[in-house]
Amino acid sequence: MKTVIADQLIKTYDKGAVRALDGLSLDVEEGTVLSVLGPNGAGKTTVVRILTTLLRADSGSASVAGIDVMKNPEKVREVIGLSGQYAAVDEILTGYDNLVMFGELYHLGKKQAVVRANELLERFSLTEAAKRPIKTYSGGMRRRLDLAASLIVKPKVLFLDEPTTGLDPRGRQEMWGVIQELVKGGVTLLLTTQYLEEADQLADDIAVIDTGKVIARGTSDALKKQVGGERLEVVVEQTHVAKTMEIVAAVSGHKAALDEGLRLISAPVSTGSAALFEVLKALDSAGIHALDVGLKRPSLDDVFLSLTGHAAEEKKEEITEKKRGKK
């Protein structure tokens, strides 16, 4: 069953001069995670805002949990949770007070709001900081609290808009753990991200969007195959470049590329670490000492260079939304 459906959504700004969504369509199966992957300005936040009733599309249709987003926005809000890029919490209040306030805003009643707040504080490892003002929280703690607030009413569908943007690696790992726990609980999740590794970790399926359209969809492995899989990279002294290129090409089965400035020799490989060991063995036999050697997995830029011909970069629609206070 499709829990989230977006069909041919179009959204423009500045009297049509900026096209944030250009016939975007996607869907999410019940109980699964769809990651919407794209660069800044691709339209990720716009589609989330439309699906969560915060923004109206110019045309197209959308439904969440079988409810028409355009016709019945109030009913949609009863079954969803939303956590945006920036924590929507009151910095003056404590973590506990914030969650109780959200509970009361959702008409839980004081007693039930208190119970739910304590449950979520414990679930998100925030009990010790519960009575501290939010302004004393780290970025990761704020994100966890914001996510907790989005779960006050136990939503059927959860929308997370770039939940780890701005977090350090440790904070990102912590947030991934929290999200994975939610998924185990059966929540249907639509997650937007700029990070391929994040989609790797969390998503059952990935929709790649650019300039307001879905340009590719599939599993993480399927997308990586589209950009050529892994590349073997070797850095050597200038005197060994020619021989090393021969060795790398022989192992890869493809012509080796050379970055002359870095003395970096690279080629695509399909056997992963086996190719790495084979190259190291051949270099050793040839008496060549590698200054650096490794396997490079596809990055976000690799994906976009392959699919669109350009790297991930900020687009006009993203800038426009920021000016309008929507990012």
Q: What order do you get walking across the sheet with 292-296 strand by strand? A: 257-259, 264-269, 230-235, 292-296
- Residues 123 and 153 sit within 8 Å (Cβ to Cβ): no
In the predicted model, what is the mean pLDDT of residues 55-81? 95
Q: Which residue has the tokens 């079988």?
A: 66
Q: Which residue has the tokens 């990102």?
A: 172
| Tokens describing residue 70 | 């355009």
User: Could you tell me which of 169, 167, 168 has the C-alpha nearest to residue 147?
Assistant: 167
Alpha-carbon span 198 to 200, nearest angstrom: 5
In the chain, CATH 3.30.70 sits at: 230-296
pTM listed for this prediction: 0.74
Give pLDDT tens digits for 136-162.
998 888 888 988 998 888 889 999 998
Grouping H, G, I as helix, E, B as strand and the rest as coil, residue 215 is strand
Alpha-carbon span 238 to 194, nearest angstrom: 37
Question: 37: Cβ–Cβ under 8 A, 6 or more apart, which residues?
Answer: 192, 193, 194, 196, 199, 206, 207, 208, 209, 300, 303
pLDDT attached to residue 327: 44
Give pLDDT tens digits for 253-307.
989 999 999 999 999 888 888 999 999 999 999 999 999 999 987 765 677 667 7
The pLDDT confidence band at residue 194, using thresholds 50, 70 and 90, is confident
Q: Which long-range contacts (CB under 8 A, 24 or more apart) does 248-257 make?
A: 248/279, 250/282, 251/275, 251/278, 251/279, 251/282
At residue 314, does pLDDT exceed 80?
A: no
Q: Report the CATH fold assignment for 230-296.
A: Alpha-Beta Plaits (3.30.70)
| Tokens describing residue 242 | 């020619």
Q: What is the mean pLDDT of the chain?
A: 87
User: Could you tell me which of 212, 149, 128, 142 has the C-alpha nearest to residue 174?
Assistant: 142
In the chain, CATH 3.40.50.300 sits at: 2-225+313-323
Dihedral, 218, 223, 224, 228 alpha carbons, nearest 10: 140
- CA-to-CA separations, 154 to 42, 186, 261, in angstroms, rounded: 30, 11, 55
Considering the domain 2-225+313-323, what is its CATH architecture?
3-Layer(aba) Sandwich (3.40)
Alpha-carbon span 295 to 275, nearest angstrom: 9
Give pLDDT tens digits for 234-243.
999 999 999 9
Q: Output the CA torsion sign for 213, 219, 221, 226.
A: negative
Grouping H, G, I as helix, E, B as strand and the rest as coil, residue 125 is coil
